[in-house]
Amino acid sequence: MKILLMNDSSVTTVRKTHEALKGRKLIASGMFSGVFESGNPNTVLKLTVCPATYYMLNDEAIKIDDIHSPKLIKNYGQVGEYLVGKNVKETNLTKPNKKLVPLFLFEVERLEKISKGPNRSLALNLTYELRRRLAGLEHGISVRGATAKILIEMANQLPQLKDVPTLLPYFEKLNNFVGSYGDAFYDIHAANLMQRSDGTIVFSDPVGSIDIYTSGHGEFKPIVSLSDVKWTDVKDRHRKEFQALINKIKPNQKALNA
C-alpha cells in the first residue's frame, strides 16, 4: 500500500509551484516516493516523505557514498508537508496515525531496471536468500540486527555475491547507516535493485522509515512479501516456499523495532 499518494492536494501543489517539478512527468511511484522526469535524460527527480531515504543520500555525516548507491545530483531539501495516514482506511492490519511530515525533493542519476542477465539472477537470489534466512529468526530477535549480520554473511559466502567484491563494503556502509539513523529499516527487495548502463548494480531504495510506515499503517511491519520477487519464473518456482516464509514470519513483526 502506498503512503505517498501522487493525487494528494499537498503533492499536486508542490508539483504546480516548485520550479524543478513544474510540468514534469511522473515516471514511477512507490510506498514513500514519486519519481519524475528532470529535464535531463540522465537524471530524475525524487519526491519523498521518507527521511531515511533522504538522509541516506543528503546528510554529510551519515550518508552512503558508494558505487552501489545512487549518485546525488542536487538536493532541494524540504519543499512541502504531507499528512501521512489520512488516505489509509483503518482495517485489522492498518491502523493509521495521522501525522504531518516533510516532503523532500532531490535529483539523482537515472538508473535502469534489471530485466535480464546475471544481474537479474543476482537480485533475485539475494532477495530470496535474505528472506529465507530472516524467516528462521526466533521470536523477539531484532530483524534489523539480523539483517545486518545476514548481509555480511551472504557477501562472504554466496558465490554470486562474492563475484562482486564491492558488495561487502557497500553492505558495511548500509549497516552503519541503519545503525546510526535509528528510524531506518531495511527495505531490500528485487524491485529496489537497479543498474547503471555499465552494469553496476545499485540499491535504489534500500531503507525505509519506521516512523512514517507505522504512521501510515499502524503495527503491521513490512518484512516478507511475495511482491519482493516479481519475475514469473521465480514466483512459480518458489511460490509455496515464499508463502510458508510469510506465514512463519508474521508473528515476529514486532521484532522489526528491536
The answer on pLDDT for 206 being more than 90 is yes
The answer on pLDDT for 239 being more than 50 is no
Confidence of residue 216 (pLDDT cuts 50, 70, 90): low
Distance, CA of 211 to CA of 54 (rounded, Å): 14
Burial of 199 (0-12, 13-18, 19+ CB in 10 A): exposed
* pTM for this prediction: 0.83
The answer on pLDDT for 163 being more than 90 is yes
The answer on pLDDT for 201 being more than 90 is yes
- Closest among 213, 44, 184 to 113, alpha carbons compared: 44
Report CA Rg, the chain: 18
Q: What is the rounded average pLDDT of the residues 31-41?
A: 96
SS3 80: strand
Q: How far from 41 is each of 36, 110, 182, 225, 239, CA to CA, in Å?
A: 11, 8, 35, 33, 38
The answer on pLDDT for 61 being more than 80 is yes
Confidence of residue 137 (pLDDT cuts 50, 70, 90): confident
Instruction: Locate the domains of the chain by residue range.
Output: 9-108, 118-257
Looking at per-residue confidence, does 197 or 142 come out higher? 197
What pLDDT shows up at residue 144?
Answer: 86
What pLDDT shows up at residue 217?
Answer: 61
- Closest among 195, 153, 199, 151 to 174, alpha carbons compared: 151
pLDDT per residue over 103-131, tens digit each? 999 999 999 999 889 999 999 899 989 98
